[in-house]
């Protein structure tokens, strides 16, 4: 923790400017060695960078004396020209001054260790760096701003109050009937249990905003799934032929719909088959569909017959039927299909995916669906499995405490302590190394 680290903070592609950051006790010496006296704190100064006799670049230099820096330590930044050779030369000069290349996430880890951020805020930093859609950006920024921290800290406070009442009941059994004192902890615990339950419902939404809403295209071979995928993706991502059984591998295409990240998957047509490769494709299709948030059952309007059990077994209530190739059938046939499918409780969309703009109605319907599923009380929502796991644990202990309150006050108090620890783990107030390693190792170098 006490050595001084450096790393490029900007990406590797061609860019006008690259930022190299430094943090640790030798940061001032590093600035001195490359750029002379440190500039006024937090003000950019144009300096000639040199190492020994060798000129490196004309660069902007920033000096952040600790603790008022991102990491809380003495820190500095060199904003150099973006050429690879420039960045390499500056990194080499820093190494020869005895600094060490940072591990992924090490700057933010130091910010966490120095109390600048809690763990959910650090995760917000990582998510902001990975944000591809507006919704991901908003969610990550809220988290960086402490939306989750505040919520979990408030809950923790409720538990501490409940614990105080339970401990009073244990310690001063003569004051009143201890059961009466203990019973005062009950309403707070009940309210908290309800709030955690609601947050768990919300958690899956937060995760889908972060990781993407998953949409599976399923159906018989040759129904037009790959054609629909290509139309929505606006490129030839999947092979389309008139041979049934063309698609075998899952083809995942990221799509942004209404500002939300979605993952659209084309899958092998579902049928019984002797072909081992195709059978594996069908197995993967079913597995992906089972995990998806929505399944679109693509149907060839000309070929459909009622008993397509292979496909029906994959569907869930709320899924959609996409009647494709409507250019091949007449209005009577369409009306018949509409009735059959609606009777199955499926939302019906009709299209000719191969025609220009044939998938636009589907795109519009999907957009509304995703926006409705993922928007709403946008924040706060737990955004990672890690959060949900700790929430489940906390709720279990609170439920157990509630059932013990009237009987065994000491056991109830212990459960409330355990619930407090489960919540503290989310913000990193208690920090087993393995949790921290897991969170920070997913960062990029320089963050």
Q: The tokens of 363 are what?
A: 């795109």
Q: Any residues with CB less than 8 A from the CB of 294 and at least 6 apart, and which? A: 213, 214, 215, 216, 318, 319, 320, 369
Stretch touching ligand FFO by CB under 6 A, among 66-74, 200-208, 271-279, 334-342: 66-74
133 assigned ligand-binding residue: no
Please report how close the Cβ of residue 148 comes to ligand FFO at its closest, in angstroms.
18
267 assigned ligand-binding residue: yes
Q: How many chain residues are in contact with ligand FFO, going by CB under 6 A? A: 8
- Residues 8, 24, 38, 224: which binds ligand GTP (CB under 6 A)? 224
The dihedral formed by the CA atoms of 125, 144, 193 and 431, expressed in degrees to the nearest 10:
50
Stretch touching ligand GTP by CB under 6 A, among 48-56, 68-76, 170-178, 222-230: 222-230
| Binds 223: which of ligand GTP, ligand FFO, Mg ion, none (CB < 5-8 Å by kind) | ligand GTP
| Binds 64: which of ligand GTP, ligand FFO, Mg ion, none (CB < 5-8 Å by kind) | ligand FFO
Measured distance CA(309)–CA(294) in Å, rounded: 19
Handedness of CA 207, 208, 211, 215 (dihedral sign): positive
Among positions 310-339, residues that touch ligand GTP (CB under 6 A) are 324-325, 327-328
Q: The tokens of 259 are what?
A: 């500002």
Of the CA atoms within 13 Å of residue 347, those in its CB half-sphere come to 12
Among positions 3-32, residues that touch ligand FFO (CB under 6 A) are 19
383 assigned ligand-binding residue: no
245 assigned ligand-binding residue: yes
- Which residues are bridge partners to 254 per DSSP? 263
Stretch touching ligand FFO by CB under 6 A, among 64-72, 91-99, 188-196, 318-326: 64-72
Stretch touching ligand GTP by CB under 6 A, among 62-70, 103-111, 132-140, 240-248: 240-248
- Residues 66, 82, 142, 245: which binds ligand GTP (CB under 6 A)? 245
- Residues 23, 247, 262, 420: which binds Mg ion (CB under 5 A)? 247
Edge to edge, what strands does the sheet with 213-219 contain? 251-257, 260-266, 213-219, 294-300, 320-324, 347-350
- Residues 353, 366, 394, 419: which binds ligand GTP (CB under 6 A)? 353
- Residues 354, 363, 421, 429: which binds ligand GTP (CB under 6 A)? 354
Please report how close the Cβ of residue 318 comes to ligand GTP at its closest, in angstroms.
22
| Binds 354: which of ligand GTP, Mg ion, ligand FFO, none (CB < 5-8 Å by kind) | ligand GTP
- Residues 69, 120, 222, 427: which binds ligand GTP (CB under 6 A)? 222
41 assigned ligand-binding residue: no
Which single residue is written with the structure tokens 């910010």? 111
Nearer to ligand GTP, 196 or 362 (CB): 362
441 assigned ligand-binding residue: no
| Binds 224: which of ligand GTP, ligand FFO, Mg ion, none (CB < 5-8 Å by kind) | ligand GTP
Which single residue is written with the structure tokens 């355990």? 418
Asked if residues 333 and 301 have their Cβ atoms less than 8 Å apart, the reply is: yes
246 assigned ligand-binding residue: yes
227 assigned ligand-binding residue: yes
Distances (CA, A) of 168 to 42, 182, 418: 51, 8, 18
Nearer to ligand FFO, 128 or 237 (CB): 128
- Residues 133, 227, 424, 427: which binds ligand GTP (CB under 6 A)? 227
| Binds 353: which of ligand GTP, Mg ion, ligand FFO, none (CB < 5-8 Å by kind) | ligand GTP
320-324 vs 5-8, strand pairing mode: unpaired
Task: Name the residue among 345, 272, 351, 273 with its Cα closest to residue 308.
Answer: 272
Q: The tokens of 8 are what?
A: 């490029």
Residue 108 found at the interface with Mg ion (CB under 5 A)? no
Which residue's CB comes closest to ligand GTP?
Answer: 269
Among positions 267-286, residues that touch ligand GTP (CB under 6 A) are 268-269
Q: Which residues bind ligand FFO (CB under 6 A)?
A: 19, 42, 64, 68-70, 77, 116
Q: For binding to ligand GTP (CB under 6 A), which residues are involved? A: 221-227, 240-242, 244-247, 268-269, 324-325, 327-328, 352-354, 358
């Amino acid at each position: 923790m006490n050595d001084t680290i450096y790393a490029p903070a900007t990406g590797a592609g061609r860019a006008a400017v690259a930022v190299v950051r430094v943090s640790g006790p030798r940061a001032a010496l590093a600035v001195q060695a490359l750029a002379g006296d440190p500039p006024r704190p937090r003000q950019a100064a144009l300096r000639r960078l040199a190492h020994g006799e060798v000129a490196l670049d004309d660069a902007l230099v920033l000096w952040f004396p600790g603790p008022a820096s991102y990491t809380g330590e003495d820190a500095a930044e060199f904003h150099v020209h973006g050429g690879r050779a420039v960045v390499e030369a500056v990194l080499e000069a820093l190494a020869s001054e005895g600094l060490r290349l940072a591990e992924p996430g090490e700057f933010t880890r130091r910010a966490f260790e120095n109390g600048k951020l809690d763990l959910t805020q650090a995760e917000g930093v990582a998510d902001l760096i990975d944000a591809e859609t507006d919704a991901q950006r908003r969610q990550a920024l809220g988290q960086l701003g402490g939306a989750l921290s505040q919520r979990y800290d408030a809950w923790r406070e409720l538990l501490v109050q409940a614990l105080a009442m339970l401990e009073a009941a244990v310690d001063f059994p003569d004051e009143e009937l201890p059961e009466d004192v203990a019973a005062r902890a009950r309403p707070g615990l009940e309210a908290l249990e309800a709030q955690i339950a609601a947050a768990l419902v919300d958690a899956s939404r937060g995760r889908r905003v972060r990781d993407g809403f998953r949409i599976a295209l399923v159906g018989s071979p040759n129904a037009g799934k790959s054609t629909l995928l290509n139309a929505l993706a606006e490129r030839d991502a999947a092979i389309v032929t008139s041979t049934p059984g063309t698609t075998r591998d899952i083809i995942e295409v990221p799509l942004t719909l209404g500002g939300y990240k979605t993952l659209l998957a084309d899958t092998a047509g579902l049928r019984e088959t002797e072909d081992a490769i195709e059978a594996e494709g069908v197995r993967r299709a079913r597995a992906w569909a089972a995990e998806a948030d929505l399944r679109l059952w693509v149907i060839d309007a000309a070929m459909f017959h009622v008993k397509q059990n292979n496909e029906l077994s994959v569907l869930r209530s709320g899924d959609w039927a996409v009647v494709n190739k409507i250019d091949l059938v007449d209005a009577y046939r369409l009306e018949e299909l509409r009735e059959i499918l609606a009777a199955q409780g499926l939302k019906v969309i009709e299209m000719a995916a191969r025609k220009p703009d044939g998938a636009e109605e589907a795109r519009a319907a999907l957009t509304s669906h995703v926006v409705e599923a993922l928007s709403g009380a946008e924040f706060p929502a737990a955004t990672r499995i890690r959060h949900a796991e700790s929430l489940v644990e906390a709720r279990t202990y609170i439920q157990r405490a509630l059932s013990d309150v009237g009987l065994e006050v000491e056991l109830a108090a212990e459960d409330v302590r355990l619930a407090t620890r489960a919540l503290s783990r989310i913000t990193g107030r208690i920090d087993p190394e393995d949790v921290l390693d897991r969170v920070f190792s997913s960062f990029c170098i320089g963050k």
